[in-house]
Amino acid sequence: MVYNKNGQVYKDKASKKFRIGGPVKANESSVYAGLTGVVIEIRTGRDKETGNDADIYVQFVKPEDPAVLEALDRRQEAKDGYAWPKEGMHVYLDEIMLAPEELDVIDGESPIQREYKGRAFTFRMSADIVFNRPVDPDKGDYVSPGGYEMVMNGKTVTFDFCEYEGGRRPGQPKILEFMQKNPDYDTFEDLETLTEDDLKHLEEIKEFFIYLGEDGESEGLEPVKIIGLWFHVIPMNGKSYDIDCRKVLPYVFPKEKG
């Protein structure tokens, strides 16, 4: 059986009740110990992919403490038996499949639930951006994406997000990989009428703003082009999915005048 409708409940052998859309926390038996997230899908019986009693898919929230991320990287590294490059985060936090015994049900509202704000869905945007030279934060480079204008379904949509994460692609320091989340519904009115179908019909990027800091920061650094772009849609009822936007790529950043 597949549980993917908001509010559906699965009860495991230990009488823990996992609810689609409900918050959970990975316990010490999991590589993801200490992380919290939301249940997005549960599979049992013939629909499972493993020998678990149930396969529980979780969308984890990225912790703010860099030390927690580093510890997570090292635990996954030990499990895989492979030493990753030091730069960047190498453990994905989206749609992670775990066994029921690796998770504890917690009280309260999950961050993703708060993000819906009464809407039928929320979404993320990921982008791979090439710069004109290697990006080096240790030498004063500061890069922050934010502020977008795109044509979807024949209409212009202006939007932004409240949070982002990402960093240099391992082994390719000219490429930054970003993931934006928590759409800024309070500031951008266009988001109020945005639909999943609009996201599926991206036609043009009109503006993709990259903030490079104040004077003295990011000297000589310029974004060149976008080589990867995706929307990750998380419906209130149903399984999350990706929309590949490569049809509008590559997007080449305009040269600054002067």
| pTM across the whole model | 0.66
Type of residue found at 112: I
Say which residue, 22 or 6, is predicted with more confidence.
Answer: 22
For residue 103, give the 3-state DSSP assignment: strand
Say which residue, 97 or 258, is predicted with more confidence.
Answer: 97
Which CATH fold topology does 2-111 show?
SH3 type barrels. (2.30.30)
Say which residue, 242 or 113, is predicted with more confidence.
Answer: 242
Residues 235 and 121: their CA atoms lie apart, in Å, by 4
Residue keyed to tokens 């009115």: 189
pLDDT at residue 87, rounded to an integer: 46
**pLDDT tops 70 at residue 192:** yes
The full set of domain ranges for the chain reads: 2-111, 118-252
pLDDT at residue 109, rounded to an integer: 65
State how far Cα 254 lies from the chain centre. 27
Residue 218: CB partners within 8 Å, gap ≥ 6?
140, 141, 142, 143, 212
Angular region, 20: left φ>0, alpha ψ -120 to 50, beta rest: beta
**pLDDT tops 90 at residue 103:** yes
Strands 36-43 vs 55-60: parallel, antiparallel or unpaired: antiparallel
Residues 21 and 81: their CA atoms lie apart, in Å, by 33
Q: Which of 126, 62, 57, 69 is nearest to 93 (CA)?
A: 62
Residues 68 and 31: their CA atoms lie apart, in Å, by 12
Residue keyed to tokens 């703010």: 64
Type of residue found at 81: G
Residue 95 — very low, low, confident or very high, per pLDDT cuts 50/70/90?
confident
